[in-house]
């Protein structure tokens, strides 16, 4: 892609990989503390480290990577960004960066140890919320730039379907606009006035609900760029073709529609929400699993069609034909494999009765380390291994390719220990978000300790894998030999139909999304405001 676009994208990737270094170190400290063998020095609290880990990895790394990657995808498939759009990208970048620095400073000063799910009643310094507001506003500026690039392309190419990667980026940007309205509302109307001392109470149920209105689609905002890689990039990397462009577009539209009205599955055990509405949102949660099942189908189809085109025989002969020694394939593939148990775990979590068993246990931490911290992040790493040299005019050498495969494999080993032990400890009732404690040598708590040691072993292996990843990143950004690395984009298989123009009927999709959100949330919100405890009554959200 164009040099100027590449520079803007690289700026995002630098922030993402610095975040990986800081957040990864905090993760290592956490598992060590939880093993009971290590104590944090200088009065640093466990929750401070936990907040840095969650905010910097789950919110900062992801957002910077996604925005950078999506700009790259648009520049590659819809053409070089115009000066205006590139400037919008830079404006978004700097706004997000200033916000990140502000929020991070408050966390480091121990003024914002409120975890990455920063809803009430935990309270942070108002500058932390202001920082996060800037991150969100910056991301809006950038997403507006992406939509503008798409609109420009459509005007220049009337009647043609938008290029698939651009279309996918726009779906994710629209999803982000709608989802962040919830977090913006709780921050602007509740958390900021409350932390500035303008009001003394806020309605906690409303704060949590607005957060989870945002918090669940947030996970799909992370996932969709990984799916962009799986649908469009991986087929080209393996030497095959995309199974179906139409199916990919349909899956993305289904994510837009179903990923928002499902936040109650994080609140199944909370009071103040009528069980009927919880039930409705559980059904909608199962609907949002469908596009992932479609994606699994599409991936198997892509692999099998390619393998058979290379003469593979028997039911699984195609597995042998896949390019296992190419990190651009193998690293994201490990991510795909992890999504099989990760997705099954999600369906368990979403099943109302089973949620009672796992909620607030460290099982949930195990679940999201398989999903975001393996499926998604290994796909991002797999992308970075060709995107960074593509942007810096260098190449991924054989040596770095081998190191990248080792990085993916060590991640899989570390995560098997860590996430496996988290799942097992969760079923024994081990709490999440808790520093080491034997709870007065309670027998149940003593049972958890071996699993916590296993988590520390896994966490240490993961930290090694992060170091490998950083070495590769630095090599690709500054030291790898000059050359041209491909930005792989696949064509659709010749058997696939042309995508229908209906996918680009944005009024229809945004309209259905809005209708579903209003259906799923209006009455529960009215209930929460009407039934607010004394002092938090009436229209006032606080």
Catalytic sites, residue numbers: 216, 220, 367-369, 432-433
Secondary structure of 267-282 as H, E, C letters: CCCCCCCCHHHHHHHH
Supply the DSSP symbol for 487.
-
Closest CA to 154 of 100, 217, 74: 74
- When asked if residue 354 is in the footprint of ligand HAS (CB under 6 A), the reply is no
- When asked if residue 208 is in the footprint of ligand HAS (CB under 6 A), the reply is no
Q: Position of tokens 């993916």?
A: 408
- When asked if residue 372 is in the footprint of ligand HAS (CB under 6 A), the reply is yes
Least spacing, CB of residue 41 vs ligand HAS, in Å: 27
Task: Report the site for ligand HAS in 94-133 (rule: CB under 6 A).
Answer: 117
Least spacing, CB of residue 376 vs ligand HAS, in Å: 5
Least spacing, CB of residue 317 vs ligand HAS, in Å: 12
Which residue stretch of 83-91, 249-257, 342-350, 516-524 sits at the interface with ligand HAS (rule: CB under 6 A)? Answer: 342-350
Task: Report the site for ligand HAS in 135-174 (rule: CB under 6 A).
Answer: none
Least spacing, CB of residue 360 vs ligand HAS, in Å: 6
Nearer to ligand HAS, 19 or 75 (CB): 19
List % helix, strand, coil for the chain (3-state, nearest 5). Answer: 75, 0, 25
- When asked if residue 340 is in the footprint of ligand HAS (CB under 6 A), the reply is yes
Nearer to ligand HAS, 27 or 145 (CB): 27
- When asked if residue 263 is in the footprint of ligand HAS (CB under 6 A), the reply is no
Burial of 111 (0-12, 13-18, 19+ CB in 10 A): middle
The binding track of 214-233 with respect to ligand HAS, each residue x by CB under 6 A or -, is -----x--xx----------
Which residue stretch of 164-172, 288-296, 417-425, 512-520 sits at the interface with ligand HAS (rule: CB under 6 A)? Answer: 288-296
Burial of 121 (0-12, 13-18, 19+ CB in 10 A): exposed
Task: Report the site for ligand HAS in 418-457 (rule: CB under 6 A).
Answer: none
- When asked if residue 367 is in the footprint of ligand HAS (CB under 6 A), the reply is yes
Nearer to ligand HAS, 216 or 390 (CB): 216
Residue whose C-beta lies closest to ligand HAS: 343
Nearer to ligand HAS, 34 or 266 (CB): 266
Strand partners, 482: 394
122-160 burial, b if ≥16 CB within 10 A, otherwise e?
Answer: ebbbbbbbbbbbbbbebbbbbbbbbbebbebbbeeeeee
Which residue stretch of 39-47, 231-239, 368-376, 439-447 sits at the interface with ligand HAS (rule: CB under 6 A)? Answer: 368-376
* Rounded Cα–Cα distance for residues 504 and 250 (Å): 11
* Rounded Cα–Cα distance for residues 209 and 202 (Å): 13
Contact 21, 470 (CB under 8 A): yes
Q: For residue 162, what are its two tokens?
A: 């938008």
Which residue stretch of 15-23, 91-99, 142-150, 290-298 sits at the interface with ligand HAS (rule: CB under 6 A)? Answer: 290-298
Binding residue for ligand HAS (CB under 6 A) from 368, 385, 448, 509?
368
* Rounded Cα–Cα distance for residues 25 and 19 (Å): 10
**Omega before residue 121 within 30° of 0, cis:** yes
Binding residue for ligand HAS (CB under 6 A) from 355, 401, 407, 465?
355
Binding residue for ligand HAS (CB under 6 A) from 70, 295, 374, 379?
295
Secondary structure of 396-408 as H, E, C letters: CCHHHHHHHHHHH
Q: For residue 217, what are its two tokens?
A: 């689609």
The number of C-alpha atoms within 13 Å of 343 and in the hemisphere containing its C-beta is 20
Strand blocks (E) in 94-144: none
- When asked if residue 53 is in the footprint of ligand HAS (CB under 6 A), the reply is no
Which residue stretch of 163-171, 362-370, 499-507, 523-531 sits at the interface with ligand HAS (rule: CB under 6 A)? Answer: 362-370
Interface with ligand HAS by CB under 6 A: which residues?
Answer: 117, 219, 222-223, 265-266, 285, 288-289, 292-293, 295-296, 299-300, 319, 336-337, 339-340, 343, 346-347, 349-350, 355, 359, 364, 367-368, 371-372, 376
């Amino acid at each position: 892609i164009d040099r100027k676009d590449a520079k803007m994208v690289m700026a995002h990737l630098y922030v993402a990989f610095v975040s990986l270094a800081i957040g990864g170190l905090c993760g290592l400290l956490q598992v060590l503390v939880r093993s009971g063998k290590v104590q944090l020095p200088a009065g640093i609290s466990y929750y401070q480290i936990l907040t840095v880990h969650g905010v910097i990895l789950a919110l900062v790394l992801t957002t910077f990577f996604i925005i950078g990657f999506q700009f790259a995808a648009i520049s590659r498939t819809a053409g070089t960004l115009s000066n205006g759009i590139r400037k919008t990208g830079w404006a978004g970048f700097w706004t997000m960066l200033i916000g990140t620095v502000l929020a991070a400073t408050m966390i480091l000063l121990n003024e914002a140890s409120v975890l990455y799910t920063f809803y009430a009643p935990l309270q942070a310094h108002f500058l932390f919320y202001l920082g996060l507001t800037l991150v969100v506003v910056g991301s809006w500026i950038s997403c507006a730039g992406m939509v503008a690039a798409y609109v420009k392309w459509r005007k220049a190419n009337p009647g043609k379907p938008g290029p698939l990667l651009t279309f996918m980026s726009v779906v994710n940007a629209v999803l982000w606009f709608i989802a962040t309205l919830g977090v913006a509302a709780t921050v602007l109307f509740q958390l900021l006035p409350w932390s500035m001392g303008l009001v003394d109470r806020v309605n906690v149920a409303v704060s949590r609900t607005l957060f989870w209105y945002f918090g669940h689609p947030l996970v799909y905002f992370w996932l969709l760029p990984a799916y962009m890689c799986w649908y469009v990039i991986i087929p080209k990397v393996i030497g095959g073709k995309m199974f179906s462009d139409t199916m990919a577009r349909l899956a993305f539209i289904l994510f837009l529609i179903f990923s928002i009205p499902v936040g109650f599955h994080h609140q199944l055990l909370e009071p103040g929400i009528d069980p009927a509405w919880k039930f409705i949102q559980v059904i909608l949660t199962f609907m949002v699993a469908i596009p992932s099942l479609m994606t699994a189908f599409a991936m198997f189809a892509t692999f099998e069609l390619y393998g058979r085109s290379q003469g593979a025989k028997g039911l699984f002969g195609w597995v042998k034909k896949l390019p296992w020694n190419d990190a651009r394939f193998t690293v994201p593939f490990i991510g795909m494999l992890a999504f099989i148990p990760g997705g099954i775990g999600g369906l368990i979590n979403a099943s109302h009765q089973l949620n009672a068993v796992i909620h607030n246990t460290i099982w949930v931490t195990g679940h999201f380390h398989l999903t975001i911290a393996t499926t998604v992040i290994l796909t991002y790493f797999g992308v970075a291994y060709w995107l960074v040299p593509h942007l810096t005019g260098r190449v991924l050498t054989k040596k770095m390719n081998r190191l990248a495969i080792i990085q993916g494999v060590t991640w899989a080993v570390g995560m098997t220990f860590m996430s496996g032990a988290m799942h097992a400890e969760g079923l024994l009732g081990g709490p999440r978000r808790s520093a080491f404690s034997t709870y007065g040598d309670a027998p149940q708590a003593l049972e958890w300790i071996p699993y916590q040691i296993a988590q520390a072993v896994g966490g240490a292996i993961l930290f090694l894998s992060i170091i490998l990843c950083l070495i590769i990143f630095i090599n690709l950004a500054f030291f790898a030999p000059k050359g041209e690395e491909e930005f792989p984009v696949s064509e659709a298989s010749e058997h696939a139909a042309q995508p229908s123009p209906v996918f680009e009927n944005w009024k229809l999709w945004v309209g259905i999304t809005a209708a579903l959100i209003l259906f799923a949330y209006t009455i529960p919100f009215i209930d929460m405001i009407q039934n607010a405890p004394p002092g938090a009554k009436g229209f006032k959200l606080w």
